[in-house]
């Protein structure tokens, strides 16, 4: 058996399929930084990039016996990383649309007195949760959602990078979705 640091990718994949932890470690060490750099460039968030790479390599180990490459190992890992990144981006879009729809609902819904009372209560809950965000995150979120400024406009106004704006909004949406998701569900259960 050749030294693993000089083994070809095909040899490493064969050893990996047989359960070689050493081959797995060599693949990890060979590709982790390249894949992490790619994920970070696309996501702009080191923690998210770390998560993508950890999930990728966890899946590589778990599904090692099912790996049959039709291309190079690097292309396989790159494609798997890209697919995970696309899933994250799509999930962020869904989260953003969810919170936006809650805000639109809370701002525009007109109905009976009973519904108006619930609407006001819902708006108070949403405003309270927004106010509970960390100050900088809240400021960025409010400029985005209430003042309808673009990421670039917010970055210029606050003298921060667009990536920071994007990350702050993403984190705010995640926090609000977790906090408001349960509240909205309870309101719907108790009022209908």
pLDDT in tens, 60-89: 999 998 888 888 888 899 989 999 988 888
Confidence at residue 2, expressed as pLDDT on a 0 to 100 scale? 56
Please, what is the angle between helix 9-17 and helix 73-108, to 10°? 70
Checking if the pLDDT of 160 tops 90, the result is yes
Residue 145 lies in a domain: yes
Confidence at residue 176, expressed as pLDDT on a 0 to 100 scale? 75
| Helix residue ranges per DSSP H, 44-72 | 46-62
**DSSP-derived secondary structure for the chain:** ---GGGS-HHHHHHHHHTT-HHHHHHHHHHHHHHHHHHHHHHH--HHHHHHHHHHHHHHHHHTGGG---SS-HHHHHHHHHHHHHHHHHHHHHHHHHHHHHHHHHHHH----HHHHHHHHHHHHHHHHHHHTS-HHHHHHHHHHHTS---HHHHHHHHT--HHHHHHHHHHHHHHHHHHHHHHHHHHHHHH-
Checking if the pLDDT of 161 tops 60, the result is yes
- The CATH number that applies at residue 122 is 1.10.10.10
Task: Tell me the per-residue pLDDT of 78-124, one tens digit each, with 9 for 90 and over.
Answer: 989 999 988 888 877 777 777 777 777 666 655 555 666 777 887 78
Checking if the pLDDT of 173 tops 70, the result is yes
Residues 56 and 113 in one domain: no
Residues 26 and 85 in one domain: yes
Which residue among 56, 89, 122 closes a domain?
89
Checking if the pLDDT of 136 tops 80, the result is yes
Q: What is the average pLDDT score of the chain?
A: 82
Residues 76 and 114 in one domain: no
Residues 115 and 85 in one domain: no
Confidence at residue 187, expressed as pLDDT on a 0 to 100 scale? 52
Task: Tell me the per-residue pLDDT of 26-53, one tens digit each, with 9 for 90 and over.
Answer: 999 999 999 999 999 988 888 889 999 9
Which residue among 89, 122, 148 closes a domain?
89
Residue 64 lies in a domain: yes
Residue 179 lies in a domain: yes
Q: How far apart are CA 138 and CA 129, in angstroms?
A: 10
Q: Helix, strand or coil for residue 29?
A: helix
> Half-sphere exposure (CA, 13 Å, Cβ side) for 54?
6
Confidence at residue 139, expressed as pLDDT on a 0 to 100 scale? 92
Residues 75 and 144 in one domain: no
Confidence at residue 53, expressed as pLDDT on a 0 to 100 scale? 93
Residues 115 and 176 in one domain: yes
103, 141 in Cβ contact below 8 A? no
> Half-sphere exposure (CA, 13 Å, Cβ side) for 132?
11
Looking at the structure of the chain, the number of domains it has is: 2
Residue 142 lies in a domain: yes
Residue 131 lies in a domain: yes
- The CATH number that applies at residue 68 is 1.10.1740.10
User: For the chain, how are helix, strand and coil distributed in percent, rounded to 5?
Assistant: 85, 0, 15
Residues 76 and 122 in one domain: no
Confidence at residue 92, expressed as pLDDT on a 0 to 100 scale? 78
Residue 24 lies in a domain: yes
Domain span holding position 54: 4-89
> Regarding predicted confidence, which is higher, 91 or 186?
91
């Amino acid at each position: 058996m050749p030294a693993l640091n000089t083994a070809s990718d095909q040899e490493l994949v064969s050893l990996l399929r047989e359960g070689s932890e050493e081959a797995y470690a060599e693949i990890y060490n060979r590709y982790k930084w390249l894949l992490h750099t790619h994920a970070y460039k696309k996501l702009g968030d080191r923690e998210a990039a770390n998560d993508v790479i950890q999930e990728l390599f966890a899946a590589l180990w778990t599904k090692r016996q099912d790996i049959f490459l039709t291309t190079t190992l690097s292309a396989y890992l790159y494609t798997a990383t890209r697919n995970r990144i696309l899933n994250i981006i799509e999930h962020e879009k869904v989260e953003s649309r969810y919170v936006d729809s809650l805000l639109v609902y809370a701002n525009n819904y007109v109905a009976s007195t009973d519904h108006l009372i619930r609407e006001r209560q819902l708006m108070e809950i949403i405003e309270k949760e927004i106010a509970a965000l960390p100050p900088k995150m809240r400021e960025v979120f409010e400029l985005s959602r209430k003042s309808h400024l673009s990421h670039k406009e917010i970055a210029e106004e606050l003298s921060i990078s667009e990536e920071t704006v994007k990350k702050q909004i993403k984190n705010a949406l995640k926090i609000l979705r977790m906090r408001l998701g349960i509240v909205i569900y309870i309101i719907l259960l108790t009022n209908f």
